[in-house]
Chain A
Amino acid sequence: MKPLHEIFDQPACEHNRAKGKKRNAGCPKPEPGSAMGGCSFDGAQITLLPIADAVHLVHGPAACLANSWESRGSLSSGPDMTWRGLMTDLSEQEIIFGGEKRLEAAIREAVRRFSPPAVFVYSTCVTALIGEDLEAVCRKAQQDLGVPVIPVNSPGFLGSKNLGNRMAGEALLEYVIGTREPEVSTEYDVNLVGEYNIAGELWQVKPLFEELGIRILACITGDGRFAEIQTAHRAKATMVVCGRALINVAHGLLERYGIPYFEGSFYGIRETGAALRNFAKILGGVPGERVEAVIRREEDALKRDLQPYLDVLRGKKALLYTGGVKSWAFISALQDLGMEVVATSSRKSTLDDVAKMKALLGEGGVIMEEGGPKQILAKMRELGADILLAGGRNQYTAVKGRVPFIDVNQERHRAYAGYEGMRVLARDLALELGNPVYRQIRQGDRRIKERSTHRGFLREESPACGA
């Protein structure tokens, strides 16, 4: 695996383009006592766990896996290794005297039990600290067992989740992509990078590709299969979906195999259309008229279907608190629905992302820096926002603040991609904004709390409850 400084050295990532001391600083470091996100190990797992037929084995003490398995929202249409929890669960003795023997035995046993097409082995802080030679153990196991055994060197203390995504991407470039040829190759083979099929979002856009005769050769890594990802080097174009965290994979595919890439999103009407048009442009062979016809048909159908919701949503104010690309991609989706985005956040976003946000939000738009639940709620009050769109972590920020909420992050259970996703999003937003619980709580709370003394008589003639 590459040394860390080379992985930080991502020319396509603006965090590295700063001049002077800050150059190649890489992903920002977490702050003690106020960091809230996941670690690099978490990031690596988010990226690789959707490969549903491979064994994912965590080398470390209990917490890294025991507290985290079965918590991600990626769906699989077949194998279920994404939701199995395998770990070496190192004991104190093994940490003192080394855990490589145990790791070797664990890989062997995992291969015997599940006969997987590959094993991903994740290092953790403790195994990195005691200097376990993950690469050597994996190399030897691969020779002995005849199954690809891939070291993923992304211990939590490297830094943020984003960096972990990137480390996982490196592992794919280094050990997986290019190790198998596809059975058939076409001029219309493409890769999706950074699409994790959360709640089935890949499946919302896949039919569009099929209709246009574009084959998704490898989805990295939503509903992923190891053998498909091995063949990603034969694609003719790559789309980096909603997130620059895996930009290194797209960049690697370009550098090593000459595959052009573009960045895009499937959130919103404009973005989905743009993604399809981009593919058509790059692939050349896909007739532009056909793409335009499909887009027109879908947009017309969507317009009809959205009508009942638009009246409810028009002019409603949303505060969008999410990371990276989603902070602008969702602005576009919400504006497509006639809503006003009064603020968004720039955490984990690149300069490009921020520029896009500014362009979409216009003059009055507020771009929040990192802020806790209290700041989010204060901002909502200040700007008169009707609804919060954020990650699952902030679901209870909204609950305690008594404000409507939609989950837009990776643990969510609802799929919002493509035209189909817009229908779901519009419906979810309308239902959430109109839900009577908010009115009841707001009004009832006032009534009950202000009632401090016993009045001793009923003021109304024939009082009724629930009538």
Chain B
Amino acid sequence: MRSVKTAGKAERKAVSIDPVKLSSPLGAVLVFLGIDRAVPVLHGSQGCAAFAKNLLTRHFREPIPLQTTALTQETVIMGAGEAVEQALDNIVRKQSPSLIGMITTALTETSGDDIDGTVRQYLRERPFQTPVVVVHAPDFVGGLSTGFASAAEAVIDACIPPRKDAQPLNAGQVNLVFGPAYGPGDVEEVKRMVSAMGLVPLALPDFSTSLDGHLGDGFLDVTDGGIAPADLARMSRSAYTFSFGASVRKAGEKLAARARGRHVHVGHLNDLEAVDRFVDILADIRGGPVPEKLLADRRRLMDRMLDIHSLFSGVRVVLAGEPDWLYMIRAAFEGMGASVAAAVAGDDPSSFGYDEKWMIGDFDDLERWVTGSGGGAVDLWISNSHGARSARRAGVPFMSAGIPVWDRIGAPNEASVGYRGLWEWLARVGSRLMETGARHHAGGDILL
């Protein structure tokens, strides 16, 4: 991976202005939304859930079955045990979910509430009850990616029992553990590639069937799609486990260990080389040639790369988002001869092993970097919809991606990975560059 000129790590400002960061509990909620008939619960005051629900509803244009323990000052001080039991009783009675995710917040982590103890006792008193997975996700440690990773690991710990000796590995079944940068469209694309290779994919979380925006039969107050709990349990039989994005690398390793199978980490699938490598590995697992369907997608991708590479050549972009996403989108731009002039991460990249010098900061930092001396000419600003106003003030063409996106339709279904996803991404971003008349800076970074 080539090194990119970045602005370096900024000093923590006295005040955060226009945050790129999203909360850790929000990331944890996402994981449960990729499990069929699940209900995530935020263990905090009702606002914790209302805000998260509102944000996700706005992004996905879908109802989000998020619940709350609705703590009040009294229950926080006197002990939240009763509120937790009441919440679980209510949810089980009214929604009868397959699985409940009980996610802590800054409030309950600060008050020192013993949620693990409460839930353990609750389940002991009510055997054969709905499983409850506890996730610790204090807002004050990390951001969305941190909470997402914690939840993925917690689900693996709680729902996927280690493979017994008597259970043979299933050679044709592969686990796909997706990080938060993979939206419904990306998950669908990777699953499609794996299926096309003749393998059976099991995805955790699987947004491709839950948050893909489909009209089901009436209103459901649990998730309508996602991986079924029975399939979750079957994951310990998979010979291979792939993890996508460094934030879920640990989760992938953990899952592979449960199955006593092999683990393959995929940093990104956002340039031709990386996708070829992925397909190569799948073909090794399956044994046999690459199917015509994928080859056709690959031919289209190559054609488009050549068609429009001059649109990207020498272009400089700035990015703001979660670390995995920054890494993926940077690869996509660099693969086309463009460069990332500056990037702001919403969560600490180093905690996932990234050594890139992305700023950890807010939209205000990026805005000031662009307008300030360090900025120079920038052709495109890509971030979630919150970045639009900053980009406009900085005078840089804007394009939304990540979470939340509310200024465009269909963003969750867009893909940027795999032959086909990348092919679509090139059209989207290329069209935007065309529209804005990107300047092809002579002074842009020449990548050699």
Contacts and interface: CB of A to CB of B under 8 A. Distances in A.
B111 interface: yes
A130 B77 CA distance: 11
A90 B16 CA distance: 10
Interface size class for chain B? Answer: 35 or more
Contact of A67 (B15, B18, B46, B55): B55
Contact of B52 (A33, A67, A402): A67
Nearest to A39: B47
Given A109-B14, A377-B218, A396 B63 contact: yes
Nearest to A41: B47
B17 interface: yes
Interface stretch (A55-63, A268-276, A419-427): A55-63
A362 interface: no
A37 B49 CA distance: 9
Given A63-B139, A397-B63, A372 B221 contact: yes
B386 A69 contact: yes
Interface stretch (A16-24, A81-89, A250-258): A81-89
A108 interface: yes
B89 A33 contact: yes
A440 to B, nearest CB: 12
Interface size class for chain A? Answer: 35 or more
Contacts of B68: 30, 32-33, 35
Contacts of B45: 39, 41, 125, 155-157
A244 B84 CA distance: 31
Q: Which of B14, B68, B73, B218 has the most CB of A within 10 A?
A: B14
Nearest to B91: A33
Contact of A29 (B44, B54, B63, B72): B72
Interface in B28-75: 41, 44-55, 57-58, 61-63, 67-73, 75
Nearest to B18: A85
Nearest to A394: B63
Interface string B1-26: 00000000000011111110111111
Contact of B90 (A31, A62, A402): A31
Contact of B15 (A41, A61, A80, A106): A106
B41 A33 contact: yes
Contacts of A30: 46, 68, 70, 72
Contacts of A62: 19, 21-24, 106, 139-140, 143
Contacts of A36: 46, 50
Contact of A39 (B41, B46, B386): B46
B15 A57 contact: yes
A68 B219 CA distance: 26
A64 interface: yes
Interface string B81-119: 001101111110010000000000111001100000000
B218 A87 contact: no
B107 to A, nearest CB: 4
Nearest to A397: B219
A40 B25 CA distance: 19
A61 B386 contact: no
Contacts of A61: 23, 106, 138-140
A66 B73 CA distance: 22
Given A33-B87, A67-B23, A85-B17, A159 B72 contact: yes
Given A68-B51, A83-B389, A95 B23 contact: no
Given A67-B26, A125-B45, A33 B107 contact: no
Interface string A44-61: 000000000000010011
A156 B86 contact: no
A357 B33 CA distance: 39
12 contacts: A33-B67, A35-B46, A60-B106, A62-B143, A63-B139, A66-B23, A67-B22, A86-B17, A89-B16, A92-B138, A129-B107, A156-B107
Given A62-B143, A396-B63, 15 more contacts: A32-B87, A33-B87, A60-B106, A61-B139, A62-B140, A67-B23, A67-B51, A92-B141, A109-B15, A125-B44, A129-B76, A129-B107, A157-B45, A400-B218, A401-B218
Interface of A: 29-42, 57, 60-71, 80, 83-92, 94-95, 102, 105-110, 113, 125-126, 128-130, 155-160, 372-374, 377, 392-393, 396-397, 399-402, 411, 441
